[in-house]
A = this chain, B = another copy of it.
Amino acid sequence: MSETSSRARELDAADELAAVRAKFVLDSVVYLDGNSLGALPAAVPGRMEDVVRRQWGSLRIRSWEESGWWTAPERIGDRIAPLVGAAPGQIVVGDSTSVNVFKALVAAVRLAAEGGPGRDEILVDATTFPTDGYIAGSAARMTGCTLRPVTPAEVPGVLTGRTAAVLLNHVDYRTGRLHDLPGLTAAVHAAGAVAVWDLCHSAGALPVGLDEHGVDLAVGCTYKYLNGGPGAPAYLYVRRDLQDRFDSPLPGWNSHAEPFGMRTEYTPATGAPRGRVGTPDILSMLALEAALEVWDGISIDAVRAKSLALTDFFLECVAAHVPEGAVESLSPKAHAERGSQVALRCPDAGDVMKRLIENGVVGDFRPPDVLRFGFTPLYVGFADVERAARVLAETLA
């Protein structure tokens, strides 16, 4: 037995989250793409069967009340809340991440305008997942702002009295770099601007501390580390003391103070429901609710500790097995700067990933030259990690 495989055994034996893997439907594949689509939690199929056959099929329209469909967006938001360090009543689930970025950013510009005129610039992470940039461009266009792409490191230096809002990613989708949410949020606030964070690549993998760090608005998807299923609805966080001033560009009937009053005049709801828009997509939403049950009794700090151990060990195994110079890690070495993924740059990365998948190791390819491996601490073990590195070495040989 090689050194890395005996290390893997030891690490697996000591893993306090090892038993959580049984809450997922998995097979012999080493699945390192949970940062794109989380694996299926075992509770979901049975729940969906009930939702479809009994709640929809038998109760039909009555389920809006009797099966709790109507209140699902807030209820499921409260289930996500502890995972991102938010007290209850501040998160609502629904719509896609893109749509929530639009709500959050337009609302942020409107909040900033309350402080006085002249705030007409939106800063956006220049290395962001593209949709955030596109939507930020539309939000800027529709609010009369200028959009300025900057790297997160540049943000403190370019904040001015003109800055209205800053849209940042907690973890970079490509490199896996973890940005300094507390420090950047404080810098944005010091400049009198509003901070909007995209948590897609951090929620469920590491502590976020939304309340603790005074984040204004945040959005995130639920189909990566939260395992909510393909295209599961996203969420929106609006800090409690901002909720009464949250002025949504998408004031649908679901966000009305009295949605069934069928009023001609719009009166926004109080609290998190103000972030709702139209009728929630119940099937996707209740699959997510069942998926979130795997988090019962799990500490996000334990998840973070294992995540770092997994990525450390992967880098160690890559160093041990892959010929020097064949790949280059784009992911930061420092724990404080690392998310829950490792991005390796190599020639012909698209082709390499194809062969890895054929050999039972699933990550993904991000153009032009990146192999991306995500490590979901709830179901990835150290032996998986070691095998992935070995298969990578064989593939590159």
Contact = CB atoms under 8 A, between A and B. Distances in A.
A116 interface: no
A283 B278 contact: no
A232 B69 CA distance: 13
Interface in A239-297: 248-254, 256, 260-264, 266, 277-285, 287
A233 to B, nearest CB: 6
Contact of A131 (B126, B143, B252): B252
A220 to B, nearest CB: 12
Contact of A250 (B69, B102, B133, B264): B102
A327 to B, nearest CB: 20
Contacts of A252: 96, 98-99, 131, 134-135
A231 interface: yes
Contacts of A278: 95-99, 131, 234
A103 B130 CA distance: 19
A323 interface: no
Given A57-B25, A279-B97, A366-B262, A129 B52 contact: no
B49 A33 contact: no
A236 to B, nearest CB: 13
A12 to B, nearest CB: 22
Given A137-B251, A261-B367, A283-B283, A60 B95 contact: no
B57 A40 contact: yes
A279 B96 contact: yes
Interface in A126-185: 126, 129-131, 133-135, 137-138, 142-143, 149, 174
Contacts of A250: 98-99, 102, 135, 138
